[in-house]
Chains A and B, each alone.
Chain A
Amino acid sequence: MKRREAIQQAALMMGGLLSAPTLAGAMGRITNTGPSVSVSAEQEALLAEVADVIIPTTTTPGAKAAGAEKFIVRVMRDCYPKSDQESFYAGLAKLDTTSKTKFGKGFMELDAAQKNEIVKQSMTDDKPFFLRMKELTTTGYFTSEIGATKALEYLPVPGQFNGCMPMKPGQKTWAL
């Protein structure tokens, strides 16, 4: 008998185990009812553009090149309750609407200065959206392969510890 079958048989003997969400619900937790907010390719592309304004390409590649939007979509989908997902994507939509109202075109079509202006405006228009977007962009970027190894200095296995040494010129922040 395979392990999985054994577990199922045991579950039947016990009168059937309750599913995880059912049990969690019974224990009084707020559960993530219903499916997560679905995110279109357009929304994902828009996230990438906004992320790239928060962390742009400088001497090193920026958030879009690092694929930070994939981290943002994944974390919002799996780690936040549906209500938080809804407000986050409403914030993103509002940013695009502001862009259309102000410049007559969507955020994707703006030039760099206009994009900056719209993101800056989101700090006052929808501060929770801006801060969450900034936090997820920053984390997604600096923990990406590009962010950790190009923008920062990545040393997975130091093999030594020296706690008090002169800092060398041009020293970048340790990625870890």
Chain B
Amino acid sequence: MNLNIDAIKEMTYDAIVIGSGVTGGWASKELTEKGLKVLMLEKGHQLEHVTGYEYAMKDPWQTKYNGRLTMEQKETHPKLMRDYPYNEMTETYWMKDIDSNYKEVKRFDWYRPNIVGGKSIMWGRQSYRLSDIDFEANAREGIAVDWPIRYKDVAPWYSYVEKVVGISGEALNLPQLPDSEFLPPMEMYCVEKEVRKRIEKNFPGRTMTIGRVANLSKAAQAQLGIGRAPCQYRNKCSLGCPYGAYFSTQSCTLPYAAKTGRLTLRPDSVVTEIIYDENQKRATGVRVIDAVTLQAREYFAKVIFVCGSALGSTAIMLNSKSNRFPNGIGNDSEQLGHNLMDHHFRIGASGDWEGDLDKYYIGRRANGIYVPRYRNIGNDKRDYVRGFGYQGGGSRQNWQRNIAELSFGADYKEELTKPGPWTMGLGGFGETLPYYENRMYLDKNEKDKWGMPLVVFDAELKENEKKMRVDMMNDAKEMLESAGVKNVKAYDRGSYLGMAIHEMGTARMGRDPKTSVLNGNNQMHGVKNVFVTDGACMVSASCVNPSLTYMALTARAADFAVKEMKRKSI
């Protein structure tokens, strides 16, 4: 086995981007468009746009198990099998737990993709801006550290990325949920329109809107120009979209970056370490293990963008040890791996809607409704801090109803061929506070298939979240009942950190290098040519879906980095 046979020159780029997901794609697009020669490294295998989406155009009868997992798939993914995102159709998109196991002092659900495009392929696409209520929250309440930025710093970058991505939604002009640059909103079902009216009437200050979603309800010329078509309403997004109708690396940022001729993409490249040069006092490159051949390589660059997803990036940083940084690169503050956050959810209420039996729909809307946060805003004051939003929606029951009833035969069959009754549900997504003791760290002994130390999770929901969940459940029930929904049942299915796949916070931003890893430009305090722009940078969690914020922060950081490079300050 020959190691490092390539000449160093061939291994040297202007920038290395670790990861090819939502933020890696954005970093690569921005940096290549600004003239840099970029190497994008992805741990997972290649996934070609359109032709690689194996199940996207299959009919249900072309699957073997209609989505079920085989015993073998459960055995190779003992942790991933615990929830729905991993199924027959997406099996090859996720990493096998047995290739890279992790440890749980407390249960943690870690969803790791194994493909170019990362979670941008399977993401939920819900896209919301943070507001100053979020950016000021830590300072106002004396929790953790203050965000070093405010809404006005990010607002133009939200606009910038939204015009490229395409966000469908409705403008509401709410202080707690600033509007995006919207494409036309998707329509609500009749039941949702009526429930919205009644919520707004019965609960002044609350509203319900259609979800803000990164699907093209209408494609602009620029989007058509890179091969994206409007949403076809198939609701098979997580399989990969052959129409490029939702934002993913493959549909959007990768074609932009590739068009510059300055991008090199290397799949199957497991970054294990960022190389720090003690003399130059800067990062000079990365160490990579080839996922297939296990061959080791090094690549070099002037600037490194760490976009390997919050926890993946943090693991790499913790594993990047030097004399200067014995506990992980940039970790002077000892905050690296701490303040682990996610959203808590799987709680709410749902019930039956007795009307609208003469109403139906056409198309499968890959989107639901959204109730923006209303708790602890204005004069509302609860026995917990922060708040939550609801996602959910109406639906008309299909052939899957009555499956657990003691019935069969011609009547059973004929009944199922007609649309069933409508239902309506609300599910809360709550903010989790940044607790220093909620953390991930590297195991001292065990390593994975690629030689990376196993990640250990020790994090849990605490009192503030538990109190919030009482409201999340009761408010949902109360709103639905007052809106005329019948047989409303509240539920709490329990929420473990990681399950919302909004993991964040483990390399937080801040003003003070003593208490934070990154500055307000996502730049490492201690190593100026390293930028971390994925969820690891988050200082607080807000209650809204975070990917849009990561995109805006990445574009903003790339702009800053290139300006600094031109000034020769990094």
Contacts and interface: CB of A to CB of B under 8 A. Distances in A.
B419 A173 contact: yes
A81 B71 CA distance: 7
Contacts of B1: 13
Interface stretch (A89-97, A99-107, A131-139): A131-139
Listed residue (A31, A81, A127, A161) with the most chain B CB atoms within 10 angstroms of its CB: A161
Contacts of B404: 131, 135
A75 B188 CA distance: 36
Q: Give chain B's interface residue range (CB within 8 Å of chain A).
A: 35 or more
Given A160-B233, A161-B362, A163-B365, A13 B75 contact: no
A76 to B, nearest CB: 10
Q: Give chain A's interface residue range (CB within 8 Å of chain B).
A: 35 or more
Interface string A1-33: 001001101100110010011011001010110
B359 A166 contact: yes
Contact of B409 (A56, A60, A156, A168): A56
Interface stretch (B56-64, B136-144, B460-468): B56-64
A174 B416 CA distance: 10
A170 B398 CA distance: 15
Listed residue (A53, A159, A173) with the most chain B CB atoms within 10 angstroms of its CB: A173
DSSP class of B's interface residues: helix, strand, loop or mixed?
loop
B413 A3 contact: no
Contacts of A40: none
B398 A173 contact: yes
B403 interface: yes
Nearest to A120: B408
A167 B365 contact: no
Interface string B51-70: 00000000111011110111
Contacts of B107: none
Contacts of B410: 56, 58
Contact of B60 (A60, A143, A159): A143
A174 B417 contact: no
Contacts of A175: 60, 399
B403 A134 contact: yes
A33 to B, nearest CB: 10
Contacts of B359: 164-167
Interface in A67-88: 71, 74-75, 78-81
Contacts of A54: 408-409, 412
Interface in B158-192: 186-190, 192
28 contacts: A13-B1, A20-B98, A24-B75, A29-B74, A54-B408, A55-B408, A78-B64, A79-B65, A130-B406, A156-B234, A158-B363, A158-B364, A159-B232, A159-B233, A160-B362, A161-B186, A161-B361, A161-B362, A162-B362, A167-B357, A168-B360, A171-B418, A171-B419, A173-B399, A173-B417, A173-B418, A174-B419, A176-B235
Interface of A: 3, 6-7, 9-10, 13-14, 17, 20-21, 23-24, 27, 29, 31-32, 53-56, 58, 60, 62, 71, 74-75, 78-81, 116, 119-120, 123, 127, 130-131, 134-135, 138-140, 142-145, 148, 151-152, 154-168, 171-176
Q: Which 10 A-B pairs have the closest CB atoms?
A: A161-B363, A24-B75, A158-B363, A143-B60, A167-B360, A164-B190, A163-B187, A32-B71, A10-B294, A54-B408
Interface of B: 1, 59-61, 63-66, 68-72, 74-76, 78, 97-98, 101, 186-190, 192-193, 231-235, 292-295, 357-365, 398-400, 403-404, 406, 408-410, 412-414, 416-420, 449
